Each structure stands twice: as structure tokens, then as C-alpha cells.
Structure 1
């Protein structure tokens, strides 16, 4: 749930930004998602467009604007800085694709990714938003989330509550063919300085190379990489 600053116009503008970030939308959808009156939503969207925080698609719908990326580039993220040195080493060890995911509501977002130099790859572009209902990274992020989110996700998930308990017990998760056919992955939780799980670090690739139980091969190296990220935080 987003916080309210007490500054009405600011909170409304932020609501517009979040609504458009969910997926591009026109004025009707924008009003439905924010609950704002039509005139207010239009005025705010046009104002944000003027500042390049929103932009228009060819069909007239609003999408996130280029200024958002420019602002984000100036925001230092200690975890991403740490990942810039840890992920290349993990890719070198495994020879597979590596990713770092944050949880955003009921989705996971790829915030860092590296591909192997050759061979078949599991390409997950940075910025990709994937559901929490399938895949090893999803299991990790849900296993350490609050109980309300767990119940919500488990209703449609490809895994069970028992699976999440196993993830918490052994400290990593694996999957084969859950998120995408022919793809296997293994993920481990990344904790901040307070011990809170803030991300999932993953290795993924073709099942033909990774096997249907990739944890047997890569769990120790993946957990070591997660611990290295934790120490740098």
C-alpha cells in the first residue's frame, strides 16, 4: 500500500504515475485505476507529460516518460552496486544466465541480468515484470513475504505452501518448466543488513543443461553469492 504524504496534489500525481507504470492507459482507464475525477486525472497526466514524466503512445495512451529513467539513473542502489561485481562471477562459475529480482506488489521485477557469452540463453531483460505464481525467484520472494501476500499468490500458484516451507528451511528454491517451457532455474534470498529478504538472486538456463533439479549442482555457489551480496550491504 502506498503512503500518503498529506499533500493532496502530490499524492494524486504519484497515483497517476503508478497507474500508468502498471500498463499504458487512456483517460478512462486512468480514472478507473486512480479513482480520480476525469478533469483532475487529465490535468495531472498532461502536466506530468509536460515534464516528460509521462509520454504518449501512438494510440494516445500514456506510458512512463523518459524523465523517469533519467531520474532513476541518478539514484544509487547499494544492492545493484554490489550485484555489479557479484553477478559476473556467478555467471562465470555457472556458465548460465543470472538475474536479480525485486518484489513489487504481486509481481517480481528483474533489476539486473547478465547472459552467457555463447550458447542457448534464458533472456530476461532488465525491467521485465513477471508474476509471483511460478519460478524459483517467485518462490523465494513469496516464501519470505507476509502471510496475506502468500495466501493471495498461492491461490493461483504452480507451487504449494509446503514448497514455501521447504524454501525457508533450506534457503533456496528451484524450478523446471514452471515460468517457461524448457527453462530451469534456482534462486536464493538476498538479505539486507537487518536480515530482511529484499531480493532474489537467480541462475537460469535450458533444462537440457541445468537439469530438472538444478539445486543439486548450483545451490552452494548461489547461496555463496547471496551471502556475498548480504555482506556488502
Structure 2
């Protein structure tokens, strides 16, 4: 959402323009007035009033080096949101312990439309730090986290997600077709874990596994990412087992479940039959 035309159908278009401004500044810290106006496609006077209002509310601020950045009020709200997120709160001790044991950067993420979004990040080895941040988004087709989040989707929902993907070529190994992605997802379901082998960024490998709720539905995933040297071929099986164990531990802690992640969730009809026995 970054053009006026995209928010005109909202019940409160002005709020949509405010969100579009926040997204523009978040993606390009230091973006100036002209850049904001171009990204939003708004008249100069309207852009000026919007920026002034957002600054007064503390949602954006002028940067000392020029342009605009996110305001402290947003970080305050983000902190409150994090504290109220049961999944993130309960998963963090397990994620921290896991990152310490595998000495890799680890993430907790969820699905939003056709993107994987990081909810939490924990650094492992201090000598090699993988660049990432909370709130970062990736297309599901080129991230291990994303593949874990969609692999066990009901077929009709999976079709919708795959149809919405742009399949942009980020790296030479990035999967570039729906057919190719479906083959990868079949492997994910068979193994119980997903991999990103330099599909998102150079010299980076990532292994991810899903977190399930009481009904066996995938509602989040965790991942461990490192350099090719850190995540070498001979480490795959052991690391994958550790990722799945940590994901299962979070499922047990948050949702009191330890479902076999290689099996699809039960359908509503199946659940009804079980209740009737």
C-alpha cells in the first residue's frame, strides 16, 4: 500500500495514507519530502500536511542527517504489542536456548498474505552475524521460513498464495515457477523441514520448521540461518532435527501439542468423527 489510489477504497482513506507514509519511511530511512510525495502519489500540500501531522503524533521524525525516519512512539507501541503476543513471549526462552546451542541466528516468523514476517530474532555466534531485523518480510517462495508456513496449507488456500507470488529472481537459485515451488513444498512435507540454499541472499543457508496449534494447523515457524561454512552439507540432518525439536517444544509450550509435523492437520470432518466415537 503506497499509492493514493490503493487507499481510496478504504473507509478512512486518510488513515491508509498515514500507513503508506510509515511503510515508505520504514523501507527507506532518510526519505525526503520529494521522495515521500512520489511514493505516495499525493499533491505537495497534502503531503506536507500529512508529514506535519505524523511528526506531531511522534509516528515519524526528522533525522539529523536529513529526511525522515520512524518516530519513538512507534517503538513504544511495538513494545506493548510484543508483550501482549503470547506466542512470541512464550517462544523466546526456547528460541534463545536454541540459538545458543546451534550458534546460528534464529528467527520466529508468521505468514502475512504471501510473505513471511519476522516476529523475533536471536543472534547465535557473535563472530558471524547475519543481517536481519524484526518486521522484515520475504516472499514465501525464496525463504525456508515461508516454505514451512505454507507447505501444509489446505490445497485451495495454497493455490491462492502461489497465484499471488511474483516469483522475482533474487538469486540464481531462487525458485521461479509455481511448479518448481510445489515440488519443493512436497519435499518439505515429506521431510518435515524446509531449506533456503542461497535463494534469498548470497552465502546464506537457512533451515526452518513449523509451529502448530492444538488443531495441528501451522501458525508460525522458526528458522536457523548462517553462512555456507556454518551450515555445511554434513550438518544438514543434525541441524534439521534440532530445528524441528525446537519448533515442537514451542508448540508444546504455547499450545500443549506435540503433533507429528510430517503429517497434515486433521480435517474438520475427521475431528467431528472422532468426537462422535
TM-score range, shorter chain: 0.7 to 0.9
RMSD (Å) for aligned C-alpha atoms? 3.2
Q: 1:137 aligns with which of 145, 148, 151?
A: 145
Q: Give 1:128 shift.
A: 6.5
Q: 1:184 to 1:10 in 2, by over 3 A?
A: closer
Q: Give 1:214 shift.
A: 4.4
Q: Give 1:195 shift.
A: 4.8
The aligned counterpart of 2:97 is 89
- Say yes or no: does 1:22 pair with 2:24: no
Contact 1:19–1:30 (Cα < 8 Å) also in 2: yes
- Say yes or no: does 1:112 pair with 2:124: no
Mapped to 1, the partners of 2:104 and 2:200 lie a distance apart of 17
Q: Give 1:15 shift.
A: 3.0
Mapped to 1, the partners of 2:235 and 2:112 lie a distance apart of 26
Which range moved further: 109-118 or 69-78?
Answer: 109-118
Q: Gaps (5+ residues) in structure 2?
A: 256-277
Q: 1:34 to 1:147 in 2, by over 3 A?
A: farther
Equivalences, count: 232
Which range moved further: 166-175 or 65-74?
Answer: 166-175
Map 1:37-52; keep pairs closer than 5 Å.
37-52=43-58
- Say yes or no: does 1:147 pair with 2:153: no
Q: Give 1:187 shift.
A: 0.6
Q: Give 1:153 shift.
A: 4.1
Q: 1:223 to 1:62 in 2, by over 3 A?
A: same
- Say yes or no: does 1:7 pair with 2:12: yes
The aligned counterpart of 2:106 is 98
Which range moved further: 175-184 or 85-94?
Answer: 175-184
The aligned counterpart of 1:167 is 188
Structure showing greater radius of gyration is 2
The aligned counterpart of 2:68 is 62
SS at match of 2:18: helix
Q: 1:92 to 1:164 in 2, by over 3 A?
A: same
The aligned counterpart of 1:223 is 244
Which range moved further: 137-146 or 166-175?
Answer: 137-146
Map 1:141-220; keep pairs closer than 5 Å.
141=149, 143=151, 144=153, 146-151=158-163, 152-156=165-169, 158-159=174-175, 160-161=180-181, 162-192=183-213, 195-212=216-233, 214-220=235-241
- Say yes or no: does 1:73 pair with 2:79: yes
Q: Give 1:47 shift.
A: 0.7
Contact 2:104–2:125 (Cα < 8 Å) also in 1: no
> TM (normalized to structure 1)?
0.79
Q: Give 1:28 shift.
A: 3.6
Q: Gaps (5+ residues) in structure 1?
A: none
Q: 1:81 to 1:23 in 2, by over 3 A?
A: same
> TM (normalized to structure 2)?
0.68
Q: Which has the higher contact order (CA 8 A, sep 6+)?
A: 1
